[in-house]
Amino acid sequence: MDLVATVALLLAAGAVIGFLGGVVGIGGGLLAIPFLVLAMGFEQQAAQGSALLMVLPAVLLTLYNYHKMAPIPWRQASAGASTSVVFTWFGAKVALGLDPIMLQHIYAGFIFCLALYYFYQSKYGIKRVGKTVKGSDNHGAGANDGNPVDAYSGYHFMLVGMLSGTAGGIFAVGGSVVVVPLLTTVFGFSQFRAQALGLTMIVPGIIVAMLTYAYHGQVHASAGVPLAVGSLLMVPLGVRIAYRLAESRLRFIFGLTLLGITFLMFSSVR
C-alpha cells in the first residue's frame, strides 16, 4: 500500500473511531488498537502506544462537547486524576514487560468481560448500590441525575482513579471503560455523566502513558497523527448522538462495540 492510500485509510478509520468513541465515551482508543494490530500489522505494545497519540486530542474534544451538555464535577475529577497518573505509569511498565501475544490475549479477555457486563445492564438495568439520587431517570443518557458527587468524598474518587490508572496503563486506553461501570452502579451517575467524568479522570494518565510508551519506542506518529485528525472530525457528532440516546440503548451500543473489539483482537492473534 502506498503512502497516499495508507494515509487515506488512517484518516477514514480515525473518523469512524472518533464517531464511535464519542458515542460510547471511550475516546476511540479501544477501537484504534485492534485496527492497528489487525489492519496495519502492529504488535500490541506499538498499537497501544500509537493509539495514545490519537486518543489525547480526541478525549479533550470529547470532554469539551460533554461538558457543554452536562457540566463535569472538576473537584472529583481532579481527585481521581491525581491517583490515576501514578498508577498509569505503573500499569504501563507492566504492559511493556509482557510478551505481545500474551498482552493481546489479556486485552481481549478484559474487553470481553466488560462487553458482557454492559449487555447485562442494557437488558436488566442498573441496580445502583450507592445513595439514591433524586431526579434520576432512564429517558436519556444526558438526563438529570441529580448531584451524586455530594454523597462521596474525594477519597472515593481517588480509589477509582487507582483502578482507572492501572487499567489505563496496562491497556493504554482502558481506564475510562473501568470507571464508567463503577460510577453508574456504585456512585449513582447516569451513563452520560459517568462517561464524561471517567474521561476527565484519565487525561493526565494518558499523557503519562504516552510518554512512557514513547520512551520505549512504542509510539509511531505516522499512524497516530492521521488517526487523530480523522477522529477529531467526527467526535462532536458522536457526542450529540450519545446525549440523545436512552441509557439502555447506549449501554447496549457500548457492549456491542466492546464485543466487536474482542472479536477483532482474537482474530488478529498471529
pLDDT digits (tens, 9 = 90+) for 176-230: 777 877 888 788 887 777 878 888 888 888 888 899 999 999 999 999 999 999 9
Spatial neighbors of 117 by CB under 8 A, at least 6 apart, are: 181, 255
pLDDT beyond 80 at 134? no
pLDDT of residue 136: 40
Spatial neighbors of 191 by CB under 8 A, at least 6 apart, are: 141, 180, 184, 247, 250, 251, 254
Residue with the larger pLDDT of the pair 210 and 257 = 210
Long-range contacts of 129-133 (CB under 8 A, 24+ apart): 129/185, 129/186, 130/185, 130/186, 130/187, 130/188, 131/188, 132/188, 133/188
Q: Is 206 helix (H, G, I), strand (E, B) or coil?
A: helix
How confident is residue 269, by pLDDT bands cut at 50, 70 and 90? low
pLDDT of residue 132: 40
Q: Is the pTM of this model over 0.75?
A: no
Q: Among residues of the chain, what percentage have pLDDT more than 90?
A: 16
Calculate mean pLDDT across residues 240-262.
Answer: 78
| CB contact at 8 A, 118 and 255 | yes
pLDDT of residue 65: 78
Long-range contacts of 132-139 (CB under 8 A, 24+ apart): 132/188, 133/188, 136/188, 136/190, 138/246, 138/247, 138/248, 139/246
**Residues for the chain: how many in total?**
270
pLDDT beyond 60 at 43? yes
Calculate mean pLDDT across residues 101-129.
Answer: 77
How confident is residue 144, by pLDDT bands cut at 50, 70 and 90? very low
